[in-house]
Structure 1
Amino acid sequence: MKMTVPNILTLFRLLAAPGVVLAFVLVPRPYADWLAFTLFVGASLTDYLDGYLARKWDQISRIGTMLDPIADKAMVMIALLALAVWSPLAHWAVIPGAIILFREVFVSGLREFLGNVAGTLKVTKLAKWKTAVQMVAIALLLAQGAFNSNLGMAVFGMDGETISAILDGREEDPLDIRGKVFRAEWGGVVGITLLWVAAVLTGITGWDYFAKARAHLGES
């Protein structure tokens, strides 16, 4: 494998995928949430950068072309696994996450069956939007886990009446509990909403890909 900059970025994205899970296994929260968030966002940014640099510097390689979609899918799938296990909103994320995972497995199997023909089926702009929304939704939900952990640490040892008084404005808020509640709640609302949007786009683009592939499946 020729170690060009685009290939190094692709390898980073591939290795960052299991790093998201390892962060939760090896590092205490909320540091694990922030580490997973940083790895995921950094890897997501390289998704655009490696392709751009490969085209600009004429460094497109067969190994890079092969690894790029694998790294993309590994990053999304493993991050969804981490959310299903460690996110405080796991029960809200599991259904859209399952839709996304089903589509990725289905389309990957379809591409493997089609072989060289798969390269002739054009990727739509909607598919690119699907990927972008997936990345933003997952990043927000990873950050929401950190916000939730920070909130839990801030209110640890407080009784319910004190917390209610702070949230109602009857008590001072030196620990910014109201801000932590706001970030935890709205980070979750926006993140879950975008994950459902990504699931819908995933379903639409998966059906579109299947419809295009039907002519090559050898069935009437």
Structure 2
Amino acid sequence: MSNRFNLPILLTWLRVAAIPLFVAVLYFPEDWLTERQANVISMWIFIAAAITDWADGYLARKWNQTTSFGAFLDPVADKLMVAAAMIVLTEKGFVDPFATLIIIGREITISALREWMAQIGQSKNVAVNIFGKLKTIAQLVAIPFLLYNGVLFGLFHTNGVGRILIWIAAFITLWSMVVYLKAAMVPPKGGS
């Protein structure tokens, strides 16, 4: 097995491959799946993808199989899955379009910022930090609630909880963007 392909990278690729399935399930004809069934299946696909996000990183570190390609592909897979979920949830009316704009806009901005910082040799200034991790966790918790879109255990409707959580995620997303932009503005040592 080459150092460019291993189980952690396979898990990441499976996450990417799950995106079209995740979206397609939500648009299957009613005679294939009811809306409730589609919501539940898509929620479980998303949860499985979120688990592989944790598992691929854990296994890569545990088995010493970290690669530069894996470090590139992992956040791309995360961003694609979240963006696909946010777009579909917005189209279905489960989430406010402004929250989607904030979350996807931040991802594009920070990806461009990281590329620019790498080009000028300052990528360490915008390395993943606690705010980026909190943003990801908030999104990965909120989206399944929104996808389920039903009453959970007879106690509460998940859409209301999901909407609150996605706005918390959007706030953390904005805050993390500000943190990254401030870090990018710090001049290199010995520079101006």
Q: 1:101 aligned to 2:104?
A: yes
Distance (whole Å) between structure 2 residues aligned to residue 216 and residue 40 of structure 1: 40
Q: 1:14 aligned to 2:16?
A: yes
C-alpha displacement at 1:125, in angstroms? 1.5
Q: Quickly say closer, same or farther: Cα 1:216–1:18, change in 2 above 3 A.
A: farther
Offset from partner CA, 1:48-107 (integer Å, 9 cap, x none) = 1101100110111222111111001001000001101124x34xx222121111111111
**Code of the aligned partner of 1:63:** F
Larger radius of gyration: 1
Q: Which runs of 5+ in 2 are unaligned?
A: none
Distance (whole Å) between structure 1 residues aligned to residue 71 and residue 127 of structure 2: 16
Q: Which runs of 5+ in 1 are unaligned?
A: 149-175
Check conservation: 2:8, 2:59, Cα contact below 8 A: yes
In the superposition, the TM-score normalised over structure 1's length comes to 0.75
Instruction: Find the residue that maps to 1:215 and give its secondary structure.
Output: coil
User: Per residue, is there more helix in 1 or in 2?
Assistant: 1
Query: Which residue is 1:80 aligned to?
Result: 86
Structure 1 stretch displaced more, 121-130 or 206-215: 121-130
Q: How does 1:91-130 map to 2 (within 5 A)?
A: 93-115=96-118, 116-130=121-135
Q: Quickly say closer, same or farther: Cα 1:216–1:70, change in 2 above 3 A.
A: farther
In the superposition, the TM-score normalised over structure 2's length comes to 0.85
- Provide the identity percentage: 34
Q: 1:56 aligned to 2:27?
A: no
Query: Which residue is 2:160 aligned to?
Result: 189
Q: Which segments of structure 1 move beyond 3 Å, counting only runs of 4 or more?
A: none
C-alpha displacement at 1:215, in angstroms? 3.2
**Code of the aligned partner of 2:46:** F
**Code of the aligned partner of 2:112:** G
Distance (whole Å) between structure 1 residues aligned to residue 187 and residue 25 of structure 2: 43
